[in-house]
């Protein structure tokens, strides 16, 4: 996959229409985590340094296609302005004559942030007329919103039909690190896949089986795999309708010579709550009155050994009920192992990224993906419309 990137365009006196992902958490009108805004700054600064006027667009929350002050970009504009170190003007709308007039007045070095693109139902419908209206603001289109690249929306895919289109640095980096995992990873390649449900991760498992040497399965979904192997899993989560899928996957892995690491011991609780007593189970089988909540120390050792012997590692999804401190150890130990490893390491998915950030390990990971659903679909080998629109 070879993308057109912003390095290939002269932005002198051009208006650059830039799609970013500024869908950030707010509390009392203040941005509480500015990671996504910071991630877009290198691209925006590059465009400004190259002589462009920049029109930035993003969605925020779920206003369901209606103008709703609760989902205004105003607090985000303030934070963006502070981080960028220059004044960012917020447009009063997304399209229309008032915005057109604002855009016409822009000079090189100016930054205009449009209101929430999802104030219009046409955005998610990828309406051609709406996309054309957005495209009329720019001479070139830059997409740096990897987190929404799996959506064929007007601002992520539609606009690309009307303007010369380029990938920003963030999208370029995502593709650079994740692309080889699907095509030609450096071996040994270890994939660590966690999370609560087989149903949400089976696509990734099926995709990664083609290139992995070892696949680690953790989190709630591991118990469905243990159940089909004939182990007792107590009151742990099991997806009955996915037992055949799990069984078929294990058979495929065996056939391909891919090692599958499943939990061999557990940390359990009698109830699914943060204050339930931690019961260590030193074996694969879980007593009938207990729920598996995290991987045990023997399992952790097996995973750490695999990670430290790897040349490439991808991690998506927690190893246990990470949100309960008593059952976060497995996930956090995996995070630390990745940080110690000399392998090319790629981390995606909200909880895995949260673990990396909680321990300040992001700078020791080769690439921390900014897209939850997008990174999942990328690893499943699906075509991401927002990325496809930027291909050469």
In angstroms, the CA 1 to CA 179 distance is: 8
Name 193's bridge partners: 217, 316
Token pair belonging to 288: 């009938």
Q: What is the pLDDT of residue 355?
A: 85
- Per 3-state DSSP, what percentage of the chain is helix, strand, and coil (rounded to 5)? 40, 15, 40
Cis peptide before 298 (omega within 30 of 0): no
In angstroms, the CA 313 to CA 6 distance is: 29
Quick check: 165 and 143 in contact, CB under 8 A? yes
Quick check: 4 and 166 in contact, CB under 8 A? yes
Instruction: Give the pTM.
Output: 0.88
With a CB cutoff of 8 Å and minimum separation 6, the contacts of 358 are 332, 335
In angstroms, the CA 386 to CA 377 distance is: 12
Element (H, E) at 256: helix 243-256
Gyration radius of the chain's alpha carbons? 23
> Which residues of the chain have a pLDDT value below 70?
none
Q: Catalogue the E-assigned strands of the chain.
A: 15-19, 26-27, 30-31, 53-57, 89-90, 111-113, 140-143, 165-167, 189-193, 214-217, 259-261, 266-269, 279-281, 291-295, 312-316, 344-348, 367-368
In angstroms, the CA 362 to CA 24 distance is: 19
In angstroms, the CA 117 to CA 95 distance is: 9
Q: How many CB atoms lie within 10 A of CB 367?
A: 18
Q: What is the pLDDT of residue 354?
A: 82
Quick check: 255 and 232 in contact, CB under 8 A? no
What is the torsional sign of CA 272, 273, 274, 276? negative
Quick check: 195 and 187 in contact, CB under 8 A? no
Report the catalytic residues.
36, 197, 350, 373
In angstroms, the CA 392 to CA 373 distance is: 24
φ, ψ of residue 90 to 5 degrees: the values are: -100, 125
Q: What is the pLDDT of residue 146?
A: 92
Determine the 3-state secondary structure of 65 from DSSP: coil
Domains of the chain in sequence order: 6-173 (3.40.50.1260), 184-379 (3.40.50.1260)
In angstroms, the CA 365 to CA 258 distance is: 24
């Amino acid at each position: 996959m070879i993308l057109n990137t912003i390095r290939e365009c002269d932005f002198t006196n051009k208006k650059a229409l830039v799609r970013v992902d500024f869908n950030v958490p707010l509390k009392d009108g203040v941005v509480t985590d500015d990671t996504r805004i910071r991630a877009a700054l290198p691209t925006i600064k590059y465009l400004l340094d190259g002589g462009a006027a920049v029109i930035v667009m993003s969605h925020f929350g779920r206003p369901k296609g209606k103008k709703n002050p609760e989902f205004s970009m105003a607090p985000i504009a303030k934070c963006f302005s502070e981080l960028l170190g220059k004044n960012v003007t917020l447009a009063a709308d997304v399209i229309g004559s008032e915005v057109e007039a604002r855009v016409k007045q822009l000079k090189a070095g100016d930054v205009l942030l449009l209101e929430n693109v999802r104030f219009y139902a046409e955005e998610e419908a990828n309406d051609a007329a709406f996309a054309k209206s957005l495209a009329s603001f720019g001479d070139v289109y830059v997409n740096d919103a990897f987190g929404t690249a799996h959506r064929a929306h007007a601002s992520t895919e539609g606009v690309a039909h009307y303007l010369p289109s380029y990938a920003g640095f963030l999208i370029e980096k995502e593709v650079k690190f994740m692309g080889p995992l699907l095509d030609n990873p450096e071996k040994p390649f270890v994939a660590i896949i966690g999370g609560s449900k087989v149903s949400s991760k089976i696509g990734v498992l099926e995709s990664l089986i083609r290139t992995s040497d070892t696949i680690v399965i953790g989190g709630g979904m591991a118990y469905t795999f243990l159940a089909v192997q004939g182990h007792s899993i107590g009151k742990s989560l099991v997806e009955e309708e996915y037992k055949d899928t799990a069984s078929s996957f294990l058979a495929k892995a065996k056939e391909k010579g891919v090692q599958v690491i499943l939990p061999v011991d557990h940390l359990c609780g009698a109830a699914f709550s943060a204050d339930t007593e931690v019961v260590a189970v030193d074996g694969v089988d879980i007593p009938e009155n207990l729920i598996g909540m995290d991987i045990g120390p023997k399992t952790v050792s097996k995973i750490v050994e695999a990670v430290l012997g790897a040349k490439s590692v991808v991690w998506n999804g927690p190893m246990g009920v990470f949100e309960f401190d008593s059952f976060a150890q497995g996930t956090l130990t995996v995070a630390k192992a990745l940080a110690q490893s000399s392998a090319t390491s790629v981390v995606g998915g909200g909880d895995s990224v949260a673990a990396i950030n909680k321990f300040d390990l992001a700078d020791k990971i080769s690439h921390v993906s900014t897209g939850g659903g997008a990174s999942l679909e990328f690893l499943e080998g699906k075509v991401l419309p927002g990325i496809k629109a930027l291909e050469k």
